[in-house]
Amino acid sequence: MATEAEYESILIVKPDVNVYRIPPRASNRGHRAADWKLDAPDWSGRLRITAKGKVAFIKLEDKVSGELFAQAPINEYPGIALETVSDSSRYFVLRIQDDNGRSAFIGVGFGDRGDAFDFNVALQDHFKWVKTEDEISKNAHTADTGPKLDLGFKEGQTITLNIGQGKKRDKPRPQSAGGFGLLPPPPGGKIAPPPSSSSNDNAPPSTGGSPTDCLLDLDSSNSNTVAQSNPSSSDLWGDFSTPATAVPQSAPEPQGSSTSWVQF
């Protein structure tokens, strides 16, 4: 069964790189690119960085055919497999290895400073990821080997549960026969009784009749009024009716009569 470490991913590709033979280190001071023949590189091609698991591989390949010229496994950076020079940021010392395990140190360099920067950042990002993975794995291993919390019941151990002791429910309000709750009276107040019929004792009594009855009463009270005089009579006072009963007015006398009294 294949694992994640068996898959190879590409981190970066640079089309132009130069390879130099470098002299042995004379002292403990770092390598200097000025000691190399920079104007006459021993080999030129492309550089490709791949990752297989936690190990990065710097591969030097032919530009046209892609044939492998040399490769260097990098287990850590910075480290002995890849070192920087003391006098330039575009050149590095690389330790290459063959299939038989033999190793040699060569110098590699980039004509453009940006390519050297990308080369450096690609390796730093890869080993930063490796460091994070190691910390996660270490923390997980520590959690697995640590003491575990035992939440199981011991022999003879019991537990008590209180069921049905919740909050008391509020008592329901009394309801009328219609189903609507009655509102309580205001505090300190009283409900006023309905008005009784005795409050209308001072009202004027009803006559029990229609408005026309009042007019009829006025007519009956004036039954003893003075009868109108005949305009044709010469008497200034006119004729009066008898005080006992009212006599209906007689028909007017024909013209030419000599009397001035109205006949009854």
User: What local confidence, expressed as pLDDT, does residue 56 receive?
Assistant: 95
Q: Domain of 22? A: 7-135
Query: How distant is the alpha carbon of residue 92 from its chain centre?
Result: 56
Q: Considering the domain boundaries, does residue 76 fall inside one?
A: yes
Q: Which residues contact 63 (CB under 8 A, 6 or more apart)?
A: 15, 44, 45, 46
Q: Considering the domain boundaries, does residue 128 fall inside one?
A: yes
Q: Which of 30, 21, 34 is nearest to 80 (CA)?
A: 30
Burial bucket for residue 231 (CB in 10 Å: 0-12, 13-18, 19+): exposed
CA distance 7 to 61: 20
Q: What are phi and psi of 120, to 5 degrees?
A: -65, -45
Q: Which residues contact 16 (CB under 8 A, 6 or more apart)?
A: 44, 46, 110, 111, 112, 115
User: What local confidence, expressed as pLDDT, does residue 255 receive?
Assistant: 53
Q: Considering the domain boundaries, does residue 204 fall inside one?
A: no
Q: Considering the domain boundaries, does residue 19 fall inside one?
A: yes
Q: Considering the domain boundaries, does residue 72 fall inside one?
A: yes
Which ranges in 43-182 belong to alpha helices (H)? Answer: 113-145
Q: What domain count does the chain have?
A: 1
- Three-class DSSP labels, 3-68: CHHHCEEEEEEEEEEEEEECCCCCCCCCCCHHHCCCCCCCEEEEEEEEEECCEEEEEEECCCCCCE
Tens digit of each residue's pLDDT, the chain (264 residues): 444 546 889 999 999 999 999 988 776 777 889 989 999 999 999 999 999 989 999 999 999 999 999 999 999 888 889 999 988 999 999 999 988 889 999 999 999 999 999 999 999 999 999 999 888 888 876 665 656 666 777 777 777 777 766 555 555 555 555 555 556 666 655 556 666 555 444 545 555 455 545 444 544 444 444 444 454 444 555 555 555 554 455 555 555 444 555 554
Q: Which residues contact 127 (CB under 8 A, 6 or more apart)?
A: 56, 76, 77
Q: Which of 92, 118, 116, 115 is nearest to 105 (CA)?
A: 92
Q: Considering the domain boundaries, does residue 21 fall inside one?
A: yes
User: What local confidence, expressed as pLDDT, does residue 225 receive?
Assistant: 45
- Specify the pTM: 0.52
The three-class DSSP label of residue 103 is strand
User: What local confidence, expressed as pLDDT, does residue 189 receive?
Assistant: 54
Q: What is the CATH number of the domain that holds 129?
A: 2.30.29.30
Q: Considering the domain boundaries, does residue 85 fall inside one?
A: yes
Q: Considering the domain boundaries, does residue 131 fall inside one?
A: yes
CA distance 156 to 160: 13
CA distance 52 to 112: 27
